[in-house]
Chains A and B, each alone.
Chain A
Amino acid sequence: MISPICLAALLVAAASFPEGRGGAQSCQPCHTKETRGIVRVWAESAHGLAKIGCAECHGADGRRNHPSDGSRAKVDAVACRRCHPRAAAQHAASKHGIGSRAGQACTRKAAGAARSEAACAACHEPGSAVPREQAECARFLAQTPAMQRQGCTACHAVETRCDTCHGAHRTERALARDPGTCATCHMGPDHAQYEMWKTSRHGTAYAVKGLAEAPDCATCHMPDGTHDVSQGISMDLAGKAYPAERRERERARMIDVCARCHTRGFAGRQLADGDAVQKESKALVDEAVSIVRDLDRLGLLEPAPASRPPHPLSGAQLELGPQMLYENLSRPEAILFRMKKFSYVTAYKGVFHQNPDYAHWYGNAPLKLALSELRSEAALLRKLRLLEERLEAAPSSGPAAGADAALRKELRELRERRLRGEIDDAALERGQRDALERAGR
């Protein structure tokens, strides 16, 4: 904590912060005492050695740099862009930076945004803490503020903050480049790129021989120091297809990178296998989506979408798209979520990261096991419904009265045939329609 006397002195000094490349000398009197580690790593950094002072990045607004709530004086990518325009432009063009322009991340960035009314209004109703309807990340909106900060924004700050990879004050390229930095976010069940690479031949060779003989993340994804980390990736987020021209262009870029160590033919075949696995795996997910939609149509999801707290963006309806939540789901939806968000992604990314075990046993196998489970669950739910309805069909039941006895008999026989597996759902429905027509209903 900064002592009140020191803070007061700093605020007075802030009013006369030198412009341009200085400022460190105004901050140092307090910060060498209060945040000694920060000052030391800054002094050792390229910025420190080049006399790039505090105000250069943080600005000269002493009040803004010392928020009353005790939070950090964060530096936006805009500040870095002044001296690193090429890297900033490449970053903005990549998936790391694209969230800002697509508007899909507005609420995620709110925690770090300037506390101006305009910044608040990007995500909240004017003069209110109520999120605007156009907030576009349902999984973010469904979390507690603490989880939003620690579990969402901590990674997605990369959209507007360079220190996510480079660190706030050391800004050392070696640290930014270390695969452990990428691993902070690119790991775990939703996209285990770090684990895939580390346990692949690439990762093993890197561990033994280092960069001289093996690639790290940046070798393939930031070739020649580009900050466009999406360069060479031939599909959009979550395996969504690019237009053919873009796809070919990106694929050629990646093969150029691979060709520094491998033959082009070998690299092309490896990557084509990745494409094939992605398409095959996507077909399995599509089938799962169709099963869950069908269960919803039949009212077999428990809890039903309209019975649970509404989805923050879609409302009280089934949401299986990119905005699918993992809260309050029925079992079939939970199976689907794990399929699409974990196993599907792991299967094809495992191939692209040259890790057979991830591709097969952490991706392909769980994906197919889950689909089997889902098919079986759906069949059981349908059968359970039929049996449940048969049990309820006691002759004394109230609403049954008045219906035509012959019609009822025919419909009952159809149901029994369905239960015995003699007819499928489509034939059952056809039979029911015919029976109603014949009975003049």
Chain B
Amino acid sequence: MTSSRWPGLRGSCAVIAPVLLAACATVGHSTAVVPPLVEWQGVPSGPAAVAWSPDGATLAVARPQGVVLLDVRSGRSRSVSGPGAIAVDWAPAASLLVVERDAAGGRAVAIDPATGERRVLRSAAALVAARWLHAEMGWLAVASTREVRSYGTEATLTLTVETGRGPAELHRWSAVLPTKDPAADVALGWAAARPNPIDHSLLLPQFRKPPMFPPHVQIVGLDPFDAQPLEIARIELGLWTATVTWSPDGRRAAFSAADGTLRILERDSDVKAPTGAGRGLHPSWRPGGDVLFLGGWLVTPDAAPLRKLLDRAPDALGFWSPAGDRLAVAVGGKLFVFGDLSLPPTDADGERRRGAARAASWELGSLRSQGLLAPEVYRERRGRLREQGTEAP
């Protein structure tokens, strides 16, 4: 059984024998079943390698040659940063946040996509991903270090937050992993983590290993304003990477690891292992929360397959446009952009409501981070905003 401890999000889930779909992903090449708007080569398949512009017209792609902006209607592209881009995020206010790494080290850079103007935010060799926080009011950075030893790999992940007062470490995880593979991706789950659409909190998967307890992935919830990590759930898996993504309404999270099984962590409910046949390594919610992209398929939150987009793509990473009408997929070094997916329009009113709750939640967080609200008062109001962000008008 899997246990969960989080006020409002309790869970349990049966143990499922790992089926290493990642291995399958290396067999053969992914091909599009539905004709894509754009198909590109040479795209790394990191969880932060692709970002949509706020208007959904342009894709930013982090590539070894630099960040490339791709106009998905015309297919035209242009470079806006120097070489070594490994992660990119695009703020609603239009700035790009790029993590670059080259021989000189790593750095997080804010780039104006219109002018190409660069501003180095921070230099740190171990940076692997960075995300904007609420309309560029701050940003999060994930750093990853690892050393291969005779007994395994010593890995450490660090999450820092920057809100104008200098970087502050929010959370750190370290472990000796049972692998000596220097290419093992230990940071995937953290690099893929995006802030909750309502309350800006993060879900971070952490592998916990024997012999003190059975191997499991511990999902830790972290609020940038109230840095007391909480165990959200435990999922019994002997795998050290997993992807957890918030649903657009911030009430649910989708979890998947290399065993390919989708699990839904629901607030005020149990962790569910949906019964549908959909499988994949990286679930991605469509804005609106009615559909997920998973392993080359569009599936329901119950993992019931709706439509196949790609063949042989269990490890495909999906990136939905803000309006949910386009989907970019990175897999096997290729980028596919799908346009006509015959999906209903997303709920614009709902998005406005969530936007208001998101802004209020940020303001509340700012009061908390300045010590003007007691933790209990802050958590109580934050819970109320979560409800406001999701309830029907």
Q: Are A125 and B372 in contact (CB under 8 A)?
A: no
Q: How far is it, in angstroms, between the C-alpha of A390 and the C-alpha of B372 when the chains are bound?
A: 8
Q: Are B228 and A129 in contact (CB under 8 A)?
A: no
Q: How far is it, in angstroms, between the C-alpha of A408 and the C-alpha of B210 when the chains are bound?
A: 48
Does A421 interact with chain B (Cβ within 8 Å)? Answer: no
Does A297 interact with chain B (Cβ within 8 Å)? Answer: yes
How far in angstroms is the closest Cβ of chain B from A144?
10
Q: Are B228 and A304 in contact (CB under 8 A)?
A: yes
Does A316 interact with chain B (Cβ within 8 Å)? Answer: yes
B163 is contacted by which of A299, A306, A312, A398 (Cβ under 8 Å)? A398
Does B336 interact with chain A (Cβ within 8 Å)? Answer: no
B 355-393 binary contact with A (CB < 8 Å = 1; else 0): 000011011111101111111110011000000000000
Cβ–Cβ < 8 Å partners of B366 in chain A? 399-403
Q: Are B214 and A129 in contact (CB under 8 A)?
A: no
Does A441 interact with chain B (Cβ within 8 Å)? Answer: yes
Q: Are B212 and A142 in contact (CB under 8 A)?
A: yes
A 359-399 binary contact with B (CB < 8 Å = 1; else 0): 00000000000000000000000000110111011101111
B231 is contacted by which of A317, A388, A432 (Cβ under 8 Å)? A317
How far in angstroms is the closest Cβ of chain A from B137?
6
- A316-B231, A398-B137, A429-B377 as given contacts; A403 in contact with B363, CB under 8 Å: yes
- A429-B377, A432-B377, A441-B364 as given contacts; A397 in contact with B230, CB under 8 Å: no
How many contacts between A and B, using CB within 8 angstroms?
Answer: 134
Q: How far is it, in angstroms, between the C-alpha of A394 and the C-alpha of B228 when the chains are bound?
A: 22
Cβ–Cβ < 8 Å partners of B381 in chain A? 436, 441
Q: How far is it, in angstroms, between the C-alpha of A309 and the C-alpha of B54 when the chains are bound?
A: 40
Cβ–Cβ < 8 Å partners of A84 in chain B? none
- A304-B228, A401-B366 as given contacts; A429 in contact with B376, CB under 8 Å: yes
Q: Are B211 and A392 in contact (CB under 8 A)?
A: no
What residue of chain B has the Cβ atom nearest to residue A394's Cβ? B165
Q: Are A401 and B228 in contact (CB under 8 A)?
A: no
Q: Are A399 and B362 in contact (CB under 8 A)?
A: yes
B 163-184 binary contact with A (CB < 8 Å = 1; else 0): 1110000011000000000000
Q: How far is it, in angstroms, between the C-alpha of A125 and the C-alpha of B213 when the chains are bound?
A: 11
Does B140 interact with chain A (Cβ within 8 Å)? Answer: no
Q: Are A317 and B371 in contact (CB under 8 A)?
A: no
Cβ–Cβ < 8 Å partners of B363 in chain A? 402-403, 441
Does B220 interact with chain A (Cβ within 8 Å)? Answer: yes
Does B351 interact with chain A (Cβ within 8 Å)? Answer: no
Q: Are B218 and A412 in contact (CB under 8 A)?
A: no
Q: Are B375 and A398 in contact (CB under 8 A)?
A: no
Query: Which B177-235 residues have a C-beta within 8 angstroms of A?
Result: 208, 210-215, 218, 220, 225-231, 234
Q: How far is it, in angstroms, between the C-alpha of A306 and the C-alpha of B1 when the chains are bound?
A: 20
How far in angstroms is the closest Cβ of chain B from A313?
8
Cβ–Cβ < 8 Å partners of A315 in chain B? 3, 5, 218, 231, 234
Does A83 interact with chain B (Cβ within 8 Å)? Answer: no
What residue of chain B has the Cβ atom nearest to residue A396's Cβ? B164
Q: How far is it, in angstroms, between the C-alpha of A408 and the C-alpha of B275 when the chains are bound?
A: 49
Q: How far is it, in angstroms, between the C-alpha of A390 and the C-alpha of B371 when the chains are bound?
A: 6
Q: Are A408 and B367 in contact (CB under 8 A)?
A: yes
Interface residues of chain B: helix, strand, loop or mixed (majority): mixed
Query: Which B29-51 residues have a C-beta within 8 angstroms of A?
Result: none
What residue of chain A has the Cβ atom nearest to residue B384's Cβ? A441
How far in angstroms is the closest Cβ of chain B from A327?
10
B375 is contacted by which of A299, A310, A388, A396 (Cβ under 8 Å)? A299
- A298-B375, A393-B371, A399-B137 as given contacts; A306 in contact with B208, CB under 8 Å: no
Q: How far is it, in angstroms, between the C-alpha of A310 and the C-alpha of B376 when the chains are bound?
A: 24
Does A411 interact with chain B (Cβ within 8 Å)? Answer: yes
Does A307 interact with chain B (Cβ within 8 Å)? Answer: yes
Cβ–Cβ < 8 Å partners of B274 in chain A? none
Does A49 interact with chain B (Cβ within 8 Å)? Answer: no
- A310-B213, A315-B231 as given contacts; A392 in contact with B218, CB under 8 Å: no
Cβ–Cβ < 8 Å partners of A411 in chain B? 367, 372-373
Does A63 interact with chain B (Cβ within 8 Å)? Answer: no
Q: Are A306 and B374 in contact (CB under 8 A)?
A: no
What residue of chain B has the Cβ atom nearest to residue A391's Cβ? B371
Does B138 interact with chain A (Cβ within 8 Å)? Answer: yes
Q: How far is it, in angstroms, between the C-alpha of A133 and the C-alpha of B287 when the chains are bound?
A: 39
Q: How far is it, in angstroms, between the C-alpha of A193 and the C-alpha of B3 when the chains are bound?
A: 40
Q: How far is it, in angstroms, between the C-alpha of A297 and the C-alpha of B363 when the chains are bound?
A: 22
A130 is contacted by which of B211, B226, B228, B367 (Cβ under 8 Å)? B211
Q: How far is it, in angstroms, between the C-alpha of A396 and the C-alpha of B137 when the chains are bound?
A: 12
State the 10 A-B residue pairs at the shortest beta-carbon distance, nearest first.
A389-B371, A398-B164, A399-B366, A299-B228, A306-B229, A411-B372, A398-B163, A316-B231, A393-B370, A130-B210
Identify 23 residue pairs between A and B in the complex whose beta-carbon atoms are under 8 Å apart, listed by A's number: A130-B215, A131-B210, A131-B213, A131-B214, A133-B214, A141-B212, A141-B213, A299-B227, A306-B231, A307-B229, A310-B213, A310-B231, A316-B218, A317-B5, A317-B231, A386-B371, A396-B164, A397-B369, A400-B369, A402-B366, A411-B373, A436-B377, A441-B381
The residues of B with any CB-CB pair to A shorter than 8 Å are 1, 3, 5, 137-138, 163-165, 171-172, 208, 210-215, 218, 220, 225-231, 234, 359-360, 362-367, 369-377, 380-381
**Further 13 A-B residue pairs, CB within 8 A, beyond A130-B214, A133-B213:** A297-B376, A306-B230, A310-B213, A312-B212, A316-B218, A316-B229, A397-B164, A398-B137, A399-B164, A402-B359, A429-B376, A432-B373, A436-B381
